[in-house]
């Protein structure tokens, strides 16, 4: 018998602390597998955020940083500039990347740092117990919007992949999901592409991955997958948002 | 009047309701004019971990709400018994939910009571009210708070889920009876 | 009003409302997230505004904006989040705006852990940020006192037009104790005085600013602030003592929850005939140096107990001098010292004084 | 014949494998594992296609898939 | 004789400290005139940034804040939430708004705060002596890019108006310029619209205004205007980027 | 190497290069912008990396990342910018990474002004951020010493795996003085030791982290750090004295540039026969308490001079006790005390001691 | 006849008004004002259109424009 | 050997080159083995303001580089004369560029020299080198540094704009001559 699916060298074999059904685990596995597939484990440095995946440094089987809340892209910048030969990725939640870390992610992307960002959008603050995230859906309950997200008060959810994609600097930006095996397969391909661009030294890359949080959504795992599909997918369309190949050189050379 | 100064550690898995039992106990004591504190463990947001609370009751202001050696332990799961059992003060009280805890306590210097709280609770209503069986046993045994007051608090706590009141009160009473009996029989 | 049993974090939120503060800007962080969660529910009910800021940097600048237009305003956070407010707190102090900041401390440094600690003492009292400024820092030791001090914090903030920080450890945020609130609306509406930016209708324009390009003017501004801090130092020192009536061999210093753990140990030792007293600063800034010195003068030795590696110890040393006999015991990382540990450390200190226990049972153990 | 192996101790009982299996041969135990979770089990081993979808959908790397002879990977995973 | 052009009640009559030809002065005047035109001076609170316009609090003839570097939008949020009846505007440079203040501006816009932001893009850090701004043009010299902005190192300039316009939350977003009287006239109309939306309580509004910095560009005033036209205009197209009227209600109401 | 005349800010940049540091991440702010400007030119020439960060928050996290992968790294800023680095500095200290931070201080609080000040003493030495940690803090009094201390800073940072701050006022950044640089590359390449994240080829994975969820482990980590600070305290105190050889009535304490102004006044007074000595701490942390005490024991009185409202004064008090006769004179807001002002304050202090001047011209005025 | 007035002391000599004037009637003085700037002046008063473009283009509010009788505002400023 | 310890404040509008004159003086002193410091005023980035620099020269390490009462003032504009004139030490030296400063100094207790620096500079090359005329006067008068050394420094400072060297050296020499003469004539 041949193993056609097994654990990956990109992850340690430590069981995770995530809740049953939490798709952080799947996203970890995909990143781990890509690291293994590309043969870059021994030159990869990962950066864990502050969020439910704060312990990601225990799970990824490569050198790991733990960054302060939201600043993983700045840490990534420092690491990659100092050692351009290593592969640097950050793994960040929506509170981390899209709220407190908005400035860092946009500028890191805009500078075109040759790093890869895995952005886990679960529309909530998981770790701290279900507060509003910038990506929380209109009407969605959170502990800091006990009457549901009121768009007149909190505005609409931010679409990070689209925001980053729209910067002029060449990049690979895409959005995947984890609510079905089909989307997981597609998302893994996106993550692989993202790392490949870094390995080739081409550009910044970011993959936003829609993820479920049954615990703080107050839903079963199955209901959560349905809710993601029904509520999040229309607002957060999947697919590639930007490729470096599409870049039309801005001819400007504004010496004066 | 009995010296009511005491500290109780109530422990179980998250979701088993021991924090609520502790709150009811604290409220009951407060309504009787005693000073109280209710200090939960708040670990990192790890899922499925244990949850415990220390309730201190005193005639004067509670000094340390953090108690390394409580006078009483109510436990709903084995990890908690293993972790906290050894810490109970000599001469103290240990109440174990034998429906869920398969092992025994080895504390010869404490009074140890085994109650099949889930079974008892299921019998009088729902197994989910096992936490109140445990509370009932403790109240019956220690007499630290008035049972009638405690029942009122239970009713108040469930005032927005009225339909759960009868089963929870019944579970408390079932535990209370066990406790009162135990008090009468031994020691 | 009757007593209610309430979590410290929620009581802090409610206390603010009772003080007349209905504006909150903050960012979630354990172990204080129940404050914003509670206020997110409550504030709309009382016509207030709750905003979850995108970060602590933003939150601290939002309270600058809200205080500047003359409303009572609160933010709360925990250690790393408070560090991020450093710059804004310097601006707020420079502009003399009344804000209240609550820090429900967790362990550090760095991300540390979420369990109780007292390791932001120095950041709060000495070096909050750049420039010469000081916050008033209040340290409650019970949920009731947290309520009282939050209300006091607003009073002091408005009296002195200065940021006030209420600083407790995770325990105080997470525990429930009975509390009694003063009647609703103790706080009269904040008086926008002659400084708040309310629109210049019927008066000249106002400016809230901390830039002073002319060094002489900037110097004068600093002197003015310094004079204010001196006034605060003279008028606002608060502390509590325990067991200081009779004679005592050892004086324990501790603030916040640690003082209550110390009390348990002191009571136990009293039963053994050991005479130990407690000095608890309530205002960490202004620190009650003279009062501590007076209390220590009656003791042979001082033992400082903290949930940190010796931060208030600096002020204890400052009060008593480099030659004073001061012992220290501190825990960190979320480890709460047990009453027994404290007892042991007290006995160690006593043994260094050469005192013998007095008749057992001289004092009753409550 | 392809087959899968489920790690009792890694499984958290989320049932995502159950939903993913096109052969509908997975179910959950009544028994609990050491961490207190009811865990996944194969109800009818003979019908396993070796498609890996259960493993792909599992957040906890609790499933390994084995196959013999030639396998056709319709999707690269 | 009738005065058909005179100083505005929206400004104090203090001469500014700006360099000769610096268009900060024109932008001040436009804002001041709009405040006068709309009759809102006595209920307006302005917020000065840290940048060359740090002393704007001296020039605008209304209540004024001085904010910390980049945080004016957070200050605006605090002020407006506390007193919804006042008109709040911030006046910020490109270092202030687009570099250090990126997180604050995006979230303030995204929450839909009913405030107005005047964003002065002069492609440089004026006050501190000519360092790279996020909006500095490719190849442009700055004291921290002494060989010109290398896009491989610093990425491409950020287009703030486009970034903000793309958020889902309704807003009024536009870009104007100051290099000719024609553009000044058009820009004033944009600024007026921006304030009108706030007065009506409709939405967040932002006007990006292209501005010259002869001093740090190392050009004469006339050369600066030409340079702006030749180098900046193609990259930063003028016009309205977003209007609240265009907003198609996102039907999502994701209660669960 | 021959001496060159160089601006302090540029000399600081060059010193870093000479120490082997070719990575810089920072954000412009007056009066230190010449450091990044200089390095933007120089670093590409020596194969280094210059990155203008989007903010000081980002810059401080970039140096965390760069130090974490094992390169020597520098950031520089001025007061408000340093406040924004608070959180990251706590992380860096917690993770025990070697970084050097230079603070060219300007006046505060808030935006303050851009002129010279020394008002970040307490933020640097006491309360940089949340949690129990300390930086090593070095205070140069000349451009040459700035160069030397920047080089020393890298050595100490790497020896103790701890952030080191070099703190000077705007004057030191802006003035030119002759400097001599050590030969290129004093610094051997940084030894990535057993901690740097270089890719796990041929070894187990490494983690750089400050999260310790288990309180006991977090406590132990704090104890380990505290032990390190104690080691630093014992080994690294540095100070300078002037005129302490003979007898003296007054001891002046001052750090950084203020000490030089004081020296001019001391020299003038010496001509008048007044005996005044100077004590200048070079390490503000660890502060040379014992050495100061020894120096002060020979004087009748101490006068502390600072360009702030009395920050180092706390350490002087700590060293000498609450009963010591200590006077203070401080300026703020960018006002630099003149030698004459200092002279006057010294005379005032001397008059309080009741001493009379010794024979005029006893010491030569240089 | 429309006319403009230039404030000698406010003017910083940037020449933007010169460039803006469609009638090309503005120039700069040789004299310096108190702040050391050569300042703007009207070379031929009679040709002024009262179009306000010089004032609109001036960063320093140094120009006031006056007109008599009916004026047609082709652009609202 | 004369006591060369001194402090010179050089002031003018930004762009008039007094910071450069100060730098040349400092360099010249340094090359002669003296200790020096060069401390500019660095005000807020206000445009068109005044710029000044204090150069201290000493045989021992310079104590305070910040000098409230300099021994000499070289001034290129009226505001600087008004601001700094009163601060010069009694017995000190004030050199005024009379091409640009229309007023006189009222310091009877100082030596005051008026030099039409711009005119002189224009005569020997370009008016833009007036700052070096001023420096020349000072060097000639004070003898604090060697004129030849100073010329070498000037050449070095302009080494990437060689074509400006002759005019600047000429301006320096013109000033020097004035200074030497003044030294000889009075006092
Ligand atoms: C400076 C700072 N602010 C706040 C926190 C508290 N905090 C920890 S995780 C978190 C948000 C987590 O949400 P997200 O990034 O969405 O990750 P998730 O848990 O959902 O995966 C917050 C606010 C912190 N640790 N540090
Ligand atoms: C926290 C902080 N960082 C840095 C600075 C220094 N600083 C002042 S203004 C400025 C940038 C100004 O550029 P911009 O915002 O583009 O305004 P401009 O001067 O070009 O109008 C900087 C970096 C500061 N005052 N505070
Ligand atoms: S709280 Fe949510 S995000 Fe966090 S582990 Fe649980 S399910 Fe996952
Ligand atoms: S491999 Fe496919 S068929 Fe077999 S159990 Fe898994 S999902 Fe079902
Ligand atoms: S998907 Fe994995 S964790 Fe979930 S039930 Fe199946 S085997 Fe268990
Ligand atoms: S430096 Fe530039 S932006 Fe600043 S005032 Fe001068 S021209 Fe204007
Ligand atoms: S109003 Fe028009 S025509 Fe008259 S001077 Fe001005 S620009 Fe020229
Ligand atoms: S535009 Fe204004 S400032 Fe410029 S020259 Fe004309 S009048 Fe003077
Ligand atoms: Mg999330
Ligand atoms: Mg700019």
Choose between B3 and F92: higher pLDDT.
F92
Point out the residue among G60, G61, G64 whose CB comes nearest to the CB of E3: G64
pLDDT at position F365 over 50: no
Q: Which pair of structure tokens corresponds to residue C74?
A: 């609160």
Following DSSP, what letter does each residue of H70-136 receive, concatenated? -SEEEESSHHHHHHHGGGSPTT-EEEEETTT--S----TTSEEEEE-HHHHHHHHS-GGGHHHHHHH
- Range of the structural domain that residue E70 is part of: 24-255
Separation of CA G23 from chain center: 11
Expressed in percent and rounded to 5, the helix, strand and coil fractions of chain G are 15, 25, 55
User: Domain boundary at C235, C263, C283, which?
Assistant: C235
Q: Where are the beta strands (DSSP E) in F157-298?
A: 164-169, 176-179, 207-208, 239-242, 250-253, 276-281, 283-285
Report, at the CATH architecture level, how domain G3-66 is classified: 2-Layer Sandwich (3.30)
Please report the atom of ligand 7 found closest to the CA of residue G50. 1
pLDDT at position B45 over 50: no
Residue length, chain H? 187
Query: Is residue A176 in contact with ligand 1, taking CB distance under 6 Å?
Result: no
d(CA A36, CA A190): 15
Q: Does B48 touch chain A (CB under 8 A)?
A: yes
CATH number, domain containing residue F287: 3.40.50.920
Q: Which chains touch F (3 or more CB pairs under 8 A)?
A: A, B, C, E, H
pLDDT band at residue F359 under the 50/70/90 scheme: low
- Please count the residue pairs, one from chain E and one from chain F, whose beta carbons lie less than 8 angstroms apart: 48
Q: Does the model's pTM come out above 0.90?
A: yes
**In a domain? residue H1:** no
pLDDT at position B60 over 70: yes
- The torsion angles phi and psi of E11, rounded to 5 degrees, stand at -120, 150
Residues above pLDDT 70, as percent of chain B: 93
Place of tokens 């930007």: A242
pLDDT band at residue F364 under the 50/70/90 scheme: very low
Quickly list H helices, G1-77: 16-20, 53-56
Question: Which residues in chain G have Cβ-Cβ distances shorter than 8 Å to H48?
Answer: 35-36
pLDDT band at residue F204 under the 50/70/90 scheme: very high
Pair F67, F133 in one domain: yes
Q: Does G35 touch chain H (CB under 8 A)?
A: yes
Under a CB-based contact definition with an 8 Å cutoff, are residues H111 and H186 in contact? yes
Segment B105-164, tens digit of pLDDT: 999 999 999 999 999 999 999 999 999 999 999 999 999 999 999 999 999 999 999 999
d(CA F129, CA F118): 18
Separation of CA E198 from chain center: 15
**In a domain? residue F366:** no
Which H or E run includes F103? strand F100-105
- Please count the residue pairs, one from chain C and one from chain F, whose beta carbons lie less than 8 angstroms apart: 261
Q: Do E63 and C205 make contact, defined as CB atoms within 8 angstroms?
A: yes
Q: For the CA atoms of chain C, what is the radius of gyration?
A: 21
Position C182 scores a pLDDT of 87
Position H48 scores a pLDDT of 55
Place of tokens 């220390």: B54
- Domain regions of chain G by residue span: 3-66
**In a domain? residue E15:** no
- The torsion angles phi and psi of H48, rounded to 5 degrees, stand at 70, 20
pLDDT at position B2 over 80: no
- Residue C26, CB half-sphere, CA atoms under 13 Å: how many? 33
**In a domain? residue H162:** yes
Pair C207, C259 in one domain: no
- Range of the structural domain that residue H150 is part of: 6-185
Burial of B91 (0-12, 13-18, 19+ CB in 10 A): exposed
Among H12, H14, H47, H48, most G C-beta atoms within 10 A, so best to mutate, is H48
- The torsion angles phi and psi of C155, rounded to 5 degrees, stand at -60, -45
CATH number, domain containing residue E149: 3.40.50.970
Q: How far is the CA of A50 from the centre of ligand 1 (A)?
A: 5
CATH number, domain containing residue F44: 3.40.50.970
User: Which residues fall within 8 angstroms of residue C293, CB to CB, at 6 or more apart?
Assistant: C319, C320, F322
Tell me which residue of E93, E20, E15, E95 sits closest to E53, measured CA to CA: E93
For residue A229, the 8-state DSSP code is: I
**In a domain? residue H145:** yes
Query: Is residue C80 in contact with ligand 1, taking CB distance under 6 Å?
Result: yes
d(CA B57, CA B25): 9
Residue length, chain C? 366
d(CA H168, CA H125): 8
Distance from CA of H69 to the nearest CA of E (A): 30
Q: Do A145 and C56 make contact, defined as CB atoms within 8 angstroms?
A: no
Q: Does G36 touch chain H (CB under 8 A)?
A: yes
pLDDT at position D30 over 60: yes
Pair C177, C76 in one domain: yes
**In a domain? residue B56:** yes
Under a CB-based contact definition with an 8 Å cutoff, are residues H104 and H144 in contact? no
**In a domain? residue C363:** no
CB count in 10 Å sphere of residue H2? 8
Domain total of chain B: 1
Buried b (16+ CB within 10 A) or exposed e, F70-85: bbbbbbbbbbbbbbbb
d(CA F226, CA F214): 18
Among F2, F114, F117, F175, most H C-beta atoms within 10 A, so best to mutate, is F175
pLDDT at position E198 over 90: yes
For residue C342, the 8-state DSSP code is: H
Kindly list the distances between the CA atom of residue H143 and the CA atoms of F178, F318, H74, H182, in Å, as whole numbers in the listed order.
21, 50, 15, 12
Kindly list the distances between the CA atom of residue F160 and the CA atoms of B142, E19, F98, F155, in Å, as whole numbers in the listed order.
56, 49, 8, 9
For residue B137, the 8-state DSSP code is: H
For a substitution probing ligand 6, which of E214, E217, E225 has the most ligand atoms within 8 Å of its CB? E214
Position B43 scores a pLDDT of 66
Position H131 scores a pLDDT of 97
Question: Which residues in chain F have Cβ-Cβ distances shorter than 8 Å to H36?
Answer: 5, 177-178
Residue nearest to atom 7 of ligand 2 (CA): F29
Q: Does C49 touch chain E (CB under 8 A)?
A: yes
Position C363 scores a pLDDT of 41
Segment F221-261, tens digit of pLDDT: 999 999 999 999 999 999 999 999 999 999 999 999 999 99
Query: Is residue A17 in contact with ligand 1, taking CB distance under 6 Å?
Result: no
Position A250 scores a pLDDT of 61
pLDDT at position F75 over 80: yes
Residue nearest to atom 2 of ligand 6 (CA): E213
Helix, strand or coil for residue F234?
A: helix
Segment H32-41, tens digit of pLDDT: 999 999 999 8
d(CA F225, CA F234): 14
For residue F336, the 8-state DSSP code is: P
Q: Where are the beta strands (DSSP E) in F206-268?
A: 207-208, 239-242, 250-253
Segment C76-132, tens digit of pLDDT: 999 999 999 999 999 999 999 999 999 999 999 999 999 999 999 999 999 999 999
- The torsion angles phi and psi of C215, rounded to 5 degrees, stand at -60, -35
pLDDT at position H96 over 80: yes
Q: Which pair of structure tokens corresponds to residue E104?
A: 């604050």
Residues above pLDDT 70, as percent of chain D: 100
Distance from CA of D57 to the nearest CA of B (A): 20
Task: Find residue F143's DSSP bridge partners.
Answer: none
Q: Which pair of structure tokens corresponds to residue F62?
A: 């970039």
- Range of the structural domain that residue C89 is part of: 4-235
Pair F66, F211 in one domain: yes
Pair F12, F145 in one domain: yes
Cα torsion through E66, E68, E69, E75, rounded to 10: -80
A144-148, B39-43, C303-307: range with lowest mean pLDDT = B39-43
For a substitution probing ligand 7, which of G23, G26, G62, G67 has the most ligand atoms within 8 Å of its CB? G23
Q: Which ligand is the nearest neighbour of the Cα of A222?
A: 5
Tell me which residue of H8, H1, H32 sits closest to H153, measured CA to CA: H32
Residue nearest to atom 6 of ligand 1 (CA): C29
**Strand F136-138 with F164-169, pairing:** parallel
C17-21, E121-125, H49-53: range with lowest mean pLDDT = H49-53
**In a domain? residue C359:** no
Query: Is residue G48 in contact with ligand 7, taking CB distance under 6 Å?
Result: yes
Kindly list the distances between the CA atom of residue D24 and the CA atoms of D5, D15, D47, in Å, as whole numbers in the listed order.
16, 12, 9
CB count in 10 Å sphere of residue E250? 15
User: Which residues fall within 8 angstroms of residue F181, CB to CB, at 6 or more apart?
Assistant: F1, F4, F14, F15, F18, F147
Residue nearest to atom 8 of ligand 8 (CA): G11
- The torsion angles phi and psi of F188, rounded to 5 degrees, stand at -65, 160
Q: How far is the CA of E207 from the centre of ligand 2 (A)?
A: 20
Under a CB-based contact definition with an 8 Å cutoff, are residues E173 and E201 in contact? no
Kindly list the distances between the CA atom of residue E66 and the CA atoms of B26, E17, G25, in Å, as whole numbers in the listed order.
50, 17, 41
For residue G76, the 8-state DSSP code is: -
Pair F194, F322 in one domain: no
Domain total of chain C: 2
Among F170, F176, F258, F363, most H C-beta atoms within 10 A, so best to mutate, is F176
**In a domain? residue B75:** yes
d(CA H6, CA F260): 16
**In a domain? residue E242:** yes
Segment E58-97, tens digit of pLDDT: 999 999 999 999 999 999 999 999 999 999 999 999 999 9
Q: Does G65 touch chain E (CB under 8 A)?
A: yes
Residue length, chain G? 77
Following DSSP, what letter does each residue of A83-103 receive, concatenated? -TTSEEEEEEEHIIIIIITHH
Residues of chain C predicted below pLDDT 50: 361-366
Q: Do G59 and E5 make contact, defined as CB atoms within 8 angstroms?
A: no
Kindly list the distances between the CA atom of residue F34 and the CA atoms of A78, C224, E208, in Å, as whole numbers in the listed order.
21, 33, 30
Going across the sheet that includes F326-330, the strands are F239-242, F276-281, F250-253, F301-306, F326-330
pLDDT at position B96 over 90: yes
Separation of CA A49 from chain center: 11
Query: Is residue C28 in contact with ligand 1, taking CB distance under 6 Å?
Result: yes
CATH number, domain containing residue H128: 3.40.920.10
Please report the atom of ligand 5 found closest to the CA of residue D10. 3
Tell me which residue of F129, F128, F81, F135 sits closest to F108, measured CA to CA: F81
Segment E149-183, tens digit of pLDDT: 999 999 999 999 999 999 999 999 999 999 999 99
For a substitution probing ligand 8, which of E5, E15, E20, E181 has the most ligand atoms within 8 Å of its CB? E20
Q: Which pair of structure tokens corresponds to residue F233?
A: 């305290």
Output the CA torsion sign for F358, F361, F363, F366. Answer: positive
Domain total of chain E: 1
Question: Which residues in chain C have Cβ-Cβ distances shorter than 8 Å to A129?
Answer: 28, 30, 33
- Please count the residue pairs, one from chain G and one from chain H, whose beta carbons lie less than 8 angstroms apart: 3
Position H184 scores a pLDDT of 87
For residue E35, the 8-state DSSP code is: H
Segment A87-141, tens digit of pLDDT: 999 999 999 999 999 999 999 999 999 999 999 999 999 999 999 999 999 999 9
User: Domain boundary at C181, C205, C235, which?
Assistant: C235
Under a CB-based contact definition with an 8 Å cutoff, are residues H6 and H142 in contact? yes
Pair F21, F69 in one domain: yes
pLDDT band at residue B13 under the 50/70/90 scheme: confident
Quickly list H helices, C19-141: 34-45, 56-68, 79-84, 86-94, 121-125
CB count in 10 Å sphere of residue A251? 7
User: Domain boundary at F197, F218, F235, which?
Assistant: F235
Residue C44 falls in which region: left (phi positive, over 0), alpha (psi -120 to 50) or beta: alpha
Pair C193, C246 in one domain: no
d(CA C24, CA C34): 13
d(CA C21, CA C48): 8
Question: Which residues in chain A have Cβ-Cβ distances shorter than 8 Å to F101?
Answer: none
ipTM here = 0.96
């Amino acid at each position: 018998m041949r193993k056609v699916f097994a654990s990956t060298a990109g992850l340690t074999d430590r069981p995770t602390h995530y809740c049953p059904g939490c798709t952080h685990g799947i996203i970890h596995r995909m990143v781990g597998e890509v690291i293994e597939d590309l043969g870059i484990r021994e030159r990869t440095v990962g950066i864990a955020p502050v969020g439910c995946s704060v312990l990601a440094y225990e799970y990824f089987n490569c050198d790991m940083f733990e960054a302060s809340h939201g600043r993983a892209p700045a840490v990534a910048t420092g690491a990659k500039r100092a050692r351009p030969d290593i592969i640097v990725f950050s793994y960040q939640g929506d509170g981390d990347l899209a709220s407190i870390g908005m400035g860092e992610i946009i500028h890191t992307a805009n500078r075109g740092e040759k790093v890869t960002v895995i952005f886990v959008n679960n529309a909530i603050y998981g770790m701290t117990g279900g507060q509003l995230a910038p990506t929380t859906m209109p009407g969605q309950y959170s502990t800091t919007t006990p009457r549901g997200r009121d768009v007149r008060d909190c505005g609409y959810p931010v679409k990070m992949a689209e925001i980053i994609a729209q910067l002029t600097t060449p990049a690979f930006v895409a959005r995947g999901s984890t609510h079905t095996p089909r989307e997981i397969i597609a998302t893994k391909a996106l993550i692989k592409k993202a790392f490949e661009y870094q390995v080739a030294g081409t550009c910044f890359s970011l993959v936003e991955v829609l993820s479920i949080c049954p615990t703080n959504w107050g839903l079963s795992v199955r209901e959560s997958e349905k809710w993601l599909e029904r509520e999040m997918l229309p607002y957060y369309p999947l697919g590639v948002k930007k490729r470096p190949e599409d870049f039309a050189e801005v001819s400007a050379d504004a010496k004066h | 009047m009995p010296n009511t100064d005491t500290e109780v550690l109530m422990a179980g898995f998250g979701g088993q309701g021991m924090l609520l039992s502790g709150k009811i106990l604290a409220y009951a004591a407060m309504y009787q004019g005693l000073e109280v504190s209710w200090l939960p463990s708040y670990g990192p947001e790890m899922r499925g971990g244990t949850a415990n609370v220390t309730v201190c009751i005193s005639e004067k202001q509670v000094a340390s709400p953090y108690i390394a050696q409580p006078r009483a332990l109510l436990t709903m799961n084995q990890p908690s018994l293993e972790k906290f059992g050894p810490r109970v003060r000599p001469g103290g009280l240990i109440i174990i939910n034998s429906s869920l805890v398969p092992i025994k306590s080895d504390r010869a210097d404490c009074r140890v009571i085994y109650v099949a709280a889930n079974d008892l609770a299921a019998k009088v209503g729902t197994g989910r009210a096992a936490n109140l069986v445990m509370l009932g046993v403790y109240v019956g045994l220690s007499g630290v708070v008035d049972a009638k007051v405690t029942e009122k608090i239970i009713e108040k706590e469930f005032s927005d889920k009225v339909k759960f009141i009868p089963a929870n009160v019944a579970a408390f009473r079932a535990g209370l009876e066990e406790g009162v009996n135990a008090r009468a029989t031994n020691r | 009003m009757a007593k209610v049993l309430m979590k410290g974090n929620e009581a802090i939120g409610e206390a603010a409302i009772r003080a007349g503060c209905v504006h909150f800007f903050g960012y979630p962080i354990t172990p204080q997230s129940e404050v914003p969660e509670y206020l997110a529910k409550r504030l709309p009910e009382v016509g207030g505004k709750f905003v979850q800021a995108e970060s602590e940097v933003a939150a601290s600048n939002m309270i600058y904006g809200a205080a500047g237009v003359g409303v009572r305003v609160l933010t709360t956070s925990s250690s790393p989040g408070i560090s991020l407010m450093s710059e804004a707190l310097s601006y707020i102090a420079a502009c003399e705006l009344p804000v209240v900041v609550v820090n429900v401390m967790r362990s550090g440094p760095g991300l540390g852990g979420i369990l109780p600690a007292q390791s932001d003492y120095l950041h709060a009292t000495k070096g909050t940020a750049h420039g010469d400024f000081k916050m008033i820092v209040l340290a409650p030791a019970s949920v009731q006192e947290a309520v009282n001090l939050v209300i006091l914090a607003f009073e002091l903030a408005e009296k002195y037009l200065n940021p006030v920080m209420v600083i407790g450890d995770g325990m105080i945020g997470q525990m429930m104790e009975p509390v009694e609130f003063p009647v609703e609306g103790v706080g009269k509406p904040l008086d926008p005085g002659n400084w708040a930016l309310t629109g210049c209708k019927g008066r000249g324009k106002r400016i809230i600013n901390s830039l002073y390009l002319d060094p002489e003017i900037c110097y004068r501004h600093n002197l003015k602030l310094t004079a204010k801090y001196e006034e605060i130092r003279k008028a606002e020192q608060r502390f509590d003592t325990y067991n200081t009536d009779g004679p005592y061999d050892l004086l324990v210093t501790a603030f916040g929850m640690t003082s209550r753990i110390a009390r348990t140990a002191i009571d136990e030792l009293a039963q053994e005939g050991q005479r130990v007293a407690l000095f608890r600063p309530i205002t960490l800034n202004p620190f009650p140096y003279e009062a501590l010195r007076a209390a220590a003068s009656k003791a042979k030795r001082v033992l400082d107990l903290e949930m940190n590696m010796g931060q208030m110890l600096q002020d204890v040393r400052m009060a008593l001098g480099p030659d004073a006999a001061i012992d220290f015991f501190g825990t960190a990382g979320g480890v709460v010292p047990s009453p027994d540990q404290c007892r042991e450390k007290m006995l160690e200190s006593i043994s260094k004084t050469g005192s013998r226990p007095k008749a057992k049972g001289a004092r009753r153990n409550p | 014949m392809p087959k899968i192996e489920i790690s009792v101790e890694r499984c958290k009982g989320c049932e995502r494998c159950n939903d993913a299996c096109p052969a509908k041969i997975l179910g959950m135990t009544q028994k609990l594992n050491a961490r207190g979770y009811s865990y996944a089990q194969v109800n009818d081993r003979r019908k396993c296609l070796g498609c890996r979808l259960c493993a792909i959908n599992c957040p906890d790397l609790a499933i390994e898939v084995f196959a013999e002879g030639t396998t056709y990977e319709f999707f690269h995973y």
